[in-house]
Amino acid sequence: MFFPWEKPRREQETGNLLADTRIRAPFHRLMTLISGTAVAEKVLEECRRDIAELAKLGKKPGLAVVLVGDDPASRAYVRSKDKKCRDLGLHSVKLELPAETTQEELLAHVETLNRDPAIHGILVQSPPPKHIDEAAIVRAIDPAKDVDGFHPINVAKLALEDSSGFVPCTPLGCQRLLVDAGIETKGANVVVVGRSMIVGKPMALLLMAKGVGGDATVTVAHSRTKDLPAICRQADIIVAAIGRPEFIKAEHVKEGAVVIDVGINRVEAPGTEKGYKLVGDVAFAEVAPKCRAITPVPGGVGPMTIAMLMANTIKACQQAGA
Ligand SMILES: Nc1nc2c(c(=O)[nH]1)N[C@@H](CN(C=O)c1ccc(C(=O)N[C@@H](CCC(=O)O)C(=O)O)cc1)CN2
């Protein structure tokens, strides 16, 4: 498996490809639509190769996904993770617990999974119900099985550039999209909009780290940032992870910038079959014509999150003792 923030094993794997759609934007410049669906498929192909190697050693990676409550979006993501595991031939445990599950009961489940040798990766789908102390649950997961990369040990390893740790799947996927699209991060001015533990902070650390997909000059902006449009207009690359539908407008983006849209927001769409549609944190229609490259929603960062989870689970199995 090729994790961009580690040294690339084969230089050609970082080539400029899979930016599969090129659209002629105004000013006769070509704009690249970076397809997360296509890059995710490439990552999954690498996973298949690694799984075959592990099988020769009699090892099969196993992932346990725990869902507490019945949030429909979370349920759908958990189903996708379970399905992706099964498609790849991984061992998959899907634990669906009622919304009333107590903190102690959830901790007991995590402990059982920590001790299970067939399970190499554990995650609790976020967000859990309000009465659950999510940070305490994350700290209870064995860091060697923390494939979400949320445990303090893994956060520290990322900051220390220790590649034995696990990096959260969404920022890892964003970095891989940049590398695969041939977008140079070395020396680039990157503005990450959003300071969450799941995306903003680890994204900034990854982009700052030395090596492929890193070496960038990073600014982290957030809800208290003054004159956000002016800050964003300095950026060669913008990573939008604010969680507000279509928040980043044309005025935030300089001509020729690269925009990675992490947002997945359900907005009402009366008359459609589902009654909602998905939009990102970027106002795509007005921003895309200014960009050198941009990710769509859906089909951008989202599919990468699940592909990188599979990669992290394989890495956990590779690193596990015999
Ligand atoms: N424990 C975790 N919880 C959450 C994480 C996470 O990484 N770990 N991330 C998100 C949700 N998420 C995975 O859990 C996730 C979100 C979206 C997608 C995705 O593929 N989206 C598609 C659209 C899917 C749709 O139709 O709804 C896309 O963008 O193309 C995958 C995973 C919060 N919780």
Choosing from 50, 82, 146, 148, which is the catalytic residue? 148
Q: Is 81 a catalytic residue?
A: yes
Which residues contact ligand 1 via a Cβ below 6 A? 76-77, 123-126, 148, 169-170, 264, 278, 297-299, 302-303, 305-306
Per-residue pLDDT, 58: 97
Same domain, 172 and 297: yes
- For residue 112, the domain's CATH number is 3.40.50.10860
Tens of pLDDT, residues 163-194? 999 999 999 999 999 999 999 999 999 999 99
Choosing from 50, 84, 125, 146, which is the catalytic residue? 125
- For residue 273, the domain's CATH number is 3.40.50.720
Residue 175 located in a structural domain: yes
169 C-alpha to center of ligand 1: Å?
10
Mean pLDDT of the chain: 93
Same domain, 152 and 194: no
Residue 174 located in a structural domain: yes
Same domain, 189 and 275: yes
Same domain, 190 and 142: no
Instruction: Tell whether the model's pLDDT for residue 12 goes beyond 80.
Output: no
Residue 104 located in a structural domain: yes
Q: How many structural domains compose the chain?
A: 2
Name residues whose C-beta falls within 8 Å of residue 10's C-beta, 6 or more positions apart in sequence. 2
Residue with tokens 């809800």: 223
- Kindly indicate the confidence band of residue 16, based on its pLDDT and cuts at 50, 70 and 90: very low
Task: Return the best residue to mutate from 33, 264, 273 for the ligand 1 pocket (most ligand atoms within 8 A of CB).
Answer: 264
Per-residue pLDDT, 20: 47
Same domain, 177 and 257: yes
Residue 309 located in a structural domain: no
Q: Which residue minimizes the CA distance to atom 22 of ligand 1?
A: 302
Which of 133, 156, 179 is the C-terminal boundary of a domain?
156
Same domain, 129 and 221: no
* % the chain with pLDDT above 70: 92
Tokens of residue 230, six digits: 């002016």
Tens of pLDDT, residues 189-242? 999 999 999 999 999 999 999 999 999 999 999 999 999 999 999 999 999 999
ipTM > 0.95 for the complex: yes
Mean pLDDT of the region 145-155: 98
Name residues whose C-beta falls within 8 Å of residue 94's C-beta, 6 or more positions apart in sequence. 64, 65, 67, 78, 79, 81, 82
Nearest Cα neighbor of 291 from 36, 28, 25 is 25
Tens of pLDDT, residues 237-272? 999 999 999 999 999 999 999 999 999 999 999 999
Distance CA 213, CA 179 (A): 6
Same domain, 288 and 216: yes
Instruction: Tell whether the model's pLDDT for residue 274 goes beyond 70.
Output: yes
187 C-alpha to center of ligand 1: Å?
30
Which atom of ligand 1 lies nearest, measured to the CA of 303? 20
Residue 53 located in a structural domain: no
Same domain, 181 and 240: yes
Strand order in the sheet with 291-294: 21-24, 30-33, 291-294, 257-261, 237-240, 189-193, 217-221
Per-residue pLDDT, 29: 66
Distance CA 297, CA 300 (A): 6
Per-residue pLDDT, 4: 75
Please report, for the chain, how many H helices and E strands are present, in that order.
10, 12
Instruction: Tell whether the model's pLDDT for residue 276 goes beyond 80.
Output: yes
Tens of pLDDT, residues 57-109? 999 999 999 999 999 999 999 999 999 999 999 999 999 999 999 999 999 99
Instruction: Tell whether the model's pLDDT for residue 11 goes beyond 50.
Output: no
322 C-alpha to center of ligand 1: Å?
32
Residue ranges at the known binding site for NADP(+)? 194-196, 264
Whether the CB-CB separation of 164 and 192 falls below 8 Å is answered with no
Tokens of residue 259, six digits: 């925009």
Residue 163 located in a structural domain: no
Distance CA 252, CA 287 (A): 9
Prediction pTM value = 0.93
> What is the DSSP pairing of strand 30-33 with strand 21-24?
antiparallel
Same domain, 126 and 240: no
Per-residue pLDDT, 2: 72
Same domain, 296 and 204: yes
Residue 193 located in a structural domain: yes
Q: Residue 107: which domain range? A: 59-156
Residue with tokens 């189903």: 79
Per-residue pLDDT, 1: 74
Which of 156, 191, 222 is the C-terminal boundary of a domain?
156
Which of 156, 178, 209 is the C-terminal boundary of a domain?
156
Per-residue pLDDT, 50: 98
Instruction: Tell whether the model's pLDDT for residue 143 goes beyond 80.
Output: yes
Per-residue pLDDT, 3: 75
Per-residue pLDDT, 17: 39
Residue 49 located in a structural domain: no
Same domain, 71 and 145: yes
- Kindly indicate the confidence band of residue 6, based on its pLDDT and cuts at 50, 70 and 90: low
> Which tops the pLDDT comparison, 20 or 110?
110
Same domain, 141 and 172: no
Per-residue pLDDT, 26: 54
165 C-alpha to center of ligand 1: Å?
21
Residue with tokens 């929603």: 297
Q: Which residue minimizes the CA distance to atom 12 of ligand 1?
A: 77
